[in-house]
Amino acid sequence: MSNPQNESSGNEDDDFTSTFRSMGESRMNMTIGQQAENQAKFCQTRVANSEKYLGSLCEVMGSITRKTAHIRDKGDILAKLCKDYSDEENVSHSLKAGLRVCAENLSVIQDYRQTQIMRLESKVVRPISDYGNICKQIKIGVKRELEAVKREDKKKIELQKLRSKNPGNSHQISRAQSDVERAREDASIGSKHLEEQMVSFEKRRLHDIKTSMLDYFKIQLVFHAKAIEFYSKCFESMSMVDEERDLQEFQRKLSMARGVPDTEEISQALTSMTTTTNGYSDTLGSSDPYTSTYELTASDHRRVRISKTSTMYGDDEDDDEDDDYYDDDEYDLSTAR
């Protein structure tokens, strides 16, 4: 007895073989003109699809670049405001120092952002924007090939009509056959040229999209790494602001403006009146005529603290880091604003 499963699998194989043979026969039966026409239509669809999405990609990348430039301008304004506020602040000394450090680091961030913008324009937007003209040239080639195919079909129809109307006019038939052969040759040459053009286009398209996207991500990573570094310095400098001491200083200035004597200055004056007699200290009993009984005042502590804050990010260290960055091939700030 035969196995039903084997019979069904055999039928499926026969169906697949027959389908494949029919496809091969249909391709063999296709004329050269029909093959060239199918190829041209495929190329036309491919170019239209590439033009659509590359155009949208270029538009989005250009919008990102313009918005980044807008953020850079606002960042410059913020840095200037922090600097001007720091210059005008004469009471809250720790806040003054914090704003000054913020202004310096914000200005550096905008310099890096300017380099980011220049890199986006040259390495991302410009290569993609070139595909407007490239796709236009490819579409011209596709249109020329389709016209050649139509011209060949037209010559074939004319030859068939001539054979049906005047089968004995061998001279006209021979000339019409020559026209058909010439049109077929032109279509064949155009098809080969279009194929070479499309292969070159596809190779360049793949390379440019890959390179542009990699450059975009690399530019963003480098900028944000540097931005984190300098934003961290801004955050740390503002964290060092001593609100309580600045408030005490404001209250002292407020009392002085109201005409109330400063208790700290009175205490210092009374201490100086009872310290030394004939070069010796009466209060401490020190034998050293140069010994001073002055204590470090709150303002002295404040100045020491502010001094440490101002040197927290030393100029030499910052200059070294900036020089390393500016020497980087990927981010050359010599072309910045």
Confidence band of 35 (pLDDT split at 50, 70, 90): confident
Give the residue carrying structure tokens 């310290």.
Answer: 275
- Separation CA 29–CA 41 (nearest Å): 19
Taking 90 as the threshold, does the pLDDT of residue 290 lie above it? no
Q: Average pLDDT in the 97-118 region?
A: 96
pLDDT at 107: 96
Q: Alpha carbon of 299 to those of 89, 93, 254, 257: distances in Å? A: 16, 10, 16, 18
Single out the residue of 275, 270, 304, 269 nearest to residue 291, CA to CA.
Answer: 275
List the structure tokens of 284: 């401490």
pLDDT at 160: 77
The size of the chain, in residues, is 337
Taking 50 as the threshold, does the pLDDT of residue 307 lie above it? no
pLDDT at 6: 52
Range name among 114-118, 170-174, 280-284 with the lowest pLDDT average: 280-284
Confidence band of 18 (pLDDT split at 50, 70, 90): low
Taking 80 as the threshold, does the pLDDT of residue 263 lie above it? no
Dmax (CA) of the chain? 148
180 within 8 A of 155, measured Cβ to Cβ: yes
SS3 of 58-126: HHHHHHHHHHHHHHHHHHHHHHHHHHHHHHHCCCCHHHHHHHHHHHHHHHHHHHHHHHHHHHHHHHHHH
Q: Average pLDDT in the 90-115 region?
A: 94
Burial classification of residue 259, based on how many CB atoms lie within 10 Å of its CB (0-12 exposed, 13-18 middle, 19 or more buried): exposed
List the structure tokens of 70: 């807008």
Confidence band of 288 (pLDDT split at 50, 70, 90): very low
pLDDT digits 0-9 by tens, 230-244 = 999 999 999 999 999
216 within 8 A of 122, measured Cβ to Cβ: no
Confidence band of 281 (pLDDT split at 50, 70, 90): very low
155 within 8 A of 183, measured Cβ to Cβ: yes
Backbone angles phi, psi at 259, to 5 degrees: 95, 5
- Separation CA 186–CA 194 (nearest Å): 12
List the structure tokens of 208: 């440019």
pLDDT digits 0-9 by tens, 314-335 = 444 444 444 444 344 443 433 4
Question: pTM score, two decimals?
Answer: 0.62
Range name among 122-126, 129-133, 281-285 with the lowest pLDDT average: 281-285
Q: Which residues contact 204 (CB under 8 A, 6 or more apart)?
A: 134
Q: Average pLDDT in the 143-147 region?
A: 79
